[in-house]
Copies of this chain bind each other. A is one copy, B any other.
Amino acid sequence: MLSKNQIKFVNSLKQKKYREEHNLFIAEGNKIVSELLNSSIVVKQVYATSEFLRKTNIDAAIERFEITENELERISSLITANEVLAVCQMPTCILNIEAFKDKLTLVLDDIKDPGNLGTIIRIADWFGIDSIICSSNTADVYNPKVVQATMGSIARIKTHYLDLAVFFNSSKSLIQNPIYGALLEGENIYTSKLTSIGFIIIGNESKGISENIVPFITDKLYIPSFSNNKSGKSEVESLNAAIATSIICSEFRRR
C-alpha cells in the first residue's frame, strides 16, 4: 500500500527544487532500475510490483515497497508505468580539472531538451566518454525525462554543472587540451586531424555555441551536408544536437 505521503514525496522529486533539497532523483522501468541496482549509484527506495520483486535481487539496505500497477501509475512519470520506480541518491562528482588532461570530454552549452540531453549521455557512454561538462543553463540531468532517455547510461557518466567561461579560463592555465567546437564554419570534420584528448563543445539546439564561449575554441569543425537540394536554406537543413554529437564522437573515435 502506498501512503499519501509516499505519493507526495515521490511526485515532489519530479521538480528540480525538491530533488536538490533531498539530493535524490527517480528512475523508472525494469531495464533502467535493474541497471542502476547493479551500478555505483546508491538506490534508497524501490517501489515495485510483486513480479519485479520476485525476479530481482535487491540489497537489504534498500527500502522496498510492493505496490500494484495502479499505485505505480500514481507516482510514475511515464505514459505507461513499467513494473518499478526507484528513488536514488545523486552521486557527488568532484571536479578535478587535471583529470580531463588525457581524455575526451563533452561540453554542453545550454542543451535544453531533456530527450537530447539523455541521448547525448547515452552516446557518450557508447563512445567511452566518461564525463560531461554542462553549462548552468543545460537541462537538469536528474529530470525524469533525461534519466529515462539515458537508458541507464546515467549510472556511468559523470556530469558537472558550471559556468563554462570560468571553467575554460581555469582549464586553459592548468591543462592545454584542444577545445573543439562544432560551428557552421570551420574545418570539415571528415578531413580534419582529430586527437583523442580534448573538449568537444556542443551548442544549444537553436542558438548554437554562446558568443562568449566561441573565443575559447582552438579547433573549429563543421559537419558538411551531402544534400542535393542545397539552396542556402541552412536554417532548415540543420542536424539535431544529439545527432551532431553522435557524428562528431564517431569521427573522433574511429581514427
A243-B243, A247-B247 given as contacts; is B227 within 8 A of A151 (CB)? Answer: no
Q: Which of A233, A237, A243, A247 has the most CB of B within 10 A?
A: A243
Nearest CB in chain B to that of A35: its residue: B236
**Which segment, of A42-50, A117-125, A137-145, faces chain B?**
A117-125
**Is the pair B239, A253 in contact by a Cβ cutoff of 8 Å?**
no
Once A128-B226, A228-B130, A250-B250 are accepted as A-B contacts, the answer to whether A123 and B243 lie under 8 Å apart by CB is yes
Contacts of A237 in B (CB 8 A): 125-126, 153
- In the complex, the answer to whether B115 meets A239 with C-beta atoms within 8 Å is no
Task: Say whether A31 contacts B235, CB under 8 Å.
Answer: yes
In the complex, whether A15 has a CB less than 8 A from a CB of chain B is no
- This protein's copies in its complex: 2
For chain A residues 229-255, which have a beta carbon within 8 Å of chain B? 229, 233, 235-240, 242-243, 246-247, 250-251, 253-254
**A178 contacts the other chain (Cβ, under 8 Å)?**
no
Name the contact of A226 in the complex, choosing from B126, B227, B233, B240 (C-beta under 8 A). Answer: B126
A128 to B123, CA, bound (A): 24
A203 at the interface (CB under 8 A from B): no
A246 to B223 Cα, complex, angstroms: 12
- Please give me the residue from chain B that is nearest to A245 by CB atom: B243
Nearest chain-B residue to A248 (Cβ)? B250
Residue of B nearest to A246 (CB): B243
Residues of chain B with a CB closer than 8 A to A152's CB: 236
A147-162 toward B: CB 8 Å interface, digit per residue (1/0)? Answer: 0000111001000000
Q: Which residue of B lies closest to A251 (CB)?
A: B250
Chosen A-B contacts, 14 in total, with CB atoms closer than 8 Å, are: A35-B236, A119-B243, A122-B240, A122-B243, A123-B239, A126-B237, A130-B228, A153-B236, A153-B237, A156-B227, A156-B229, A242-B243, A246-B246, A250-B251
